[in-house]
Amino acid sequence: MKKSALVKFGERVREERLKQNLSQEKFAAIVGVHRTYIGKNITLENIEKVAKALKLDINELFNFK
């Protein structure tokens, strides 16, 4: 089954978060959202916050493998 863009995005965020040794809770605090929100119907504004928190260009979060 083909993965949705939201699932792929969540996987990318997790990958980068783990590279930086950030727990879900710490990462969510940096982003300024609840930890469960990052993987659910995230807004473009919050995607931008996620990219900034990970110190990545927003395009890098959409570089799905």
- Rounded Cα gap, residues 38 and 50, in angstroms: 8
Q: How many CB atoms lie within 10 A of CB 54?
A: 22
Residue 12: closest CA among 38, 33, 36: 38
The CATH number of domain 5-58 is 1.10.260.40: yes
Task: Identify the pLDDT of residue 39.
Answer: 67
Task: Identify the pLDDT of residue 56.
Answer: 93
- For residues 59 and 3, the model is more confident at 59
Mind listing the pLDDT tens digit for each residue in 3-44?
A: 888 888 888 999 999 999 999 999 999 998 887 777 677 888
- For residues 22 and 46, the model is more confident at 22
Q: 3-state SS of 23-61?
A: CHHHHHHHHCCCCCCCCCCCCHHHHHHHHHHCCCCHHHH
Q: Is the distance from CB of 51 to CB of 61 less than 8 angstroms?
A: yes
Domain map (residue ranges) of the chain: 5-58
